[in-house]
Structure 1
């Protein structure tokens, strides 16, 4: 496993992130295929639950997977994006089941306040909002609401769609 962190390095990576002098802790993980996806989910769950992680961005197995709001052992809320979908890369095929994951925090308390999913269509190195999947089809531990706000449409392409859920 040269030049990458492997599953054998998991404890070291999680401990170092947990002890880092940081306001928000984010872990990005790649599963190689369907067979290793559950390992990614398990590591992401441990990062949030046992190491007070805030966000896990999973990618692979090249399609979107569920989004879960999770509580750590200390009571803190974290967000696990099991898979955002495919990479934006010229040598990969495309598809509509990819999304941009966003987490909004309270600036004073640094608590998670909202989770957003913005679907994108990826075709190699080309990305478009047109042709992207319906964000309400993305499985989640919470109920998605569509983003239907004039302020949203003033900032993005009219073909962009999004969904969100608020965190109490």
Structure 2
């Protein structure tokens, strides 16, 4: 009996010893809920390392030209056996218009077609082939609100719009009906950046807008402009606004131009492109009331015209970039890297019209060509010292 008691007691003590041994040793202060898979009880758990926020960035480039003002000398020179061909006039500048995501032109004369009668100053009308040449050169947006919009009445406007639609060219500033005018023009790029285009003119050379047909031309009206800018900002990442304003042949903007530009900058417009003076006016950055920066070209001058005064033969191609950055759920739009290419309309005896980059001009084509080129560069950059000038395709 005693031997069995001793054996049973021994077994009892052995079991107790084993139980105590299993519950001794270093204890992890963490609760089981805080353990992760494969964690070790002796491992000190530190805070997780924060990952960098994901950032996406897209970018587009935009080029813009001034007035396509097709005088009779220009379209007479473009006459061929079967219609008109303006392409040779733009051939030397096509590379600078076709290398950007978007190219904008101010088509000053309605392309109503030859059967409506062609331009006889001051009442303009142009062959539809002008639009074909712009499309060929790389332009994909035209602004058509200017003082000559109503020169040949509603029929010319409707015919012009019909042709713009036929060649798939976005137009803004004059419309075919009320519904068309309420459709803010927004170009969605493959790069994922959307750009809205607005266009307005100071007037129509005294020609009244037909009653009930305000859609035929956008007139400068601050209330209208502010409303459409606000709508455009809801629809697009960036807003580019064209203004037909200022005094003809004056090389600096007047106070009314500056005041209107300040107004639209305060509304948050990203870029302002001016035309009507038919000569170049400088570029600059204008600060809006919210601290935003608006890129402004007060006038891009004549790109192609039959005007013969020296400064009226000089225009240019404005180029800039728009980037869109999405970081940590926040979207930022930045207009940057403005550039300019001065151009010159060369012709002899009202023939062989051709738009040429000024940096390529020889003294045979323009006496003292380099001196004139440097003067234009200084003129355009006087309020934007860091403005760069294109002297080749980048």
TM-score (norm 2): 0.34
Higher helix share: 2
Deviation at 1:26, TM superposition (A): 1.0
Structure 1 residues 103 and 145: CA distance shift in structure 2, 3 A: closer
- Structure 2 stretches lacking a partner, 5+ long: 1-207, 210-215, 326-331, 348-352, 362-371
SS in 2 for 1:110: strand
CA distance in 2, matches of 1:123, 1:86: 12
Deviation at 1:55, TM superposition (A): 0.6
Calculate the aligned-residue CA RMSD, in Å. Answer: 2.9
Matched, 1:100 2:313: no
TM-score (norm 1): 0.72
CA distance in 1, matches of 2:259, 2:278: 18
- Alignment map for 1:5-154 (pairs within 5 Å): 5-7=218-220, 9-20=221-232, 21-31=235-245, 33-34=247-248, 38=254, 39-48=256-265, 50-89=266-305, 91-93=306-308, 95=310, 97-108=314-325, 109-123=332-346, 126-129=354-357, 130-131=360-361, 133-134=373-374, 135-144=377-386, 146-147=388-389, 153=392
Structure 1 residues 10 and 133: CA distance shift in structure 2, 3 A: farther
Structure 1 residues 88 and 41: CA distance shift in structure 2, 3 A: farther
Structure 1 residues 46 and 147: CA distance shift in structure 2, 3 A: same
Higher strand share: 1
Aligned length: 149
CA distance in 1, matches of 2:299, 2:335: 19
Structure 1 residues 83 and 126: CA distance shift in structure 2, 3 A: same
Contact 1:93/1:123 (<8 A) preserved: no
- Structure 1 stretches lacking a partner, 5+ long: 157-168
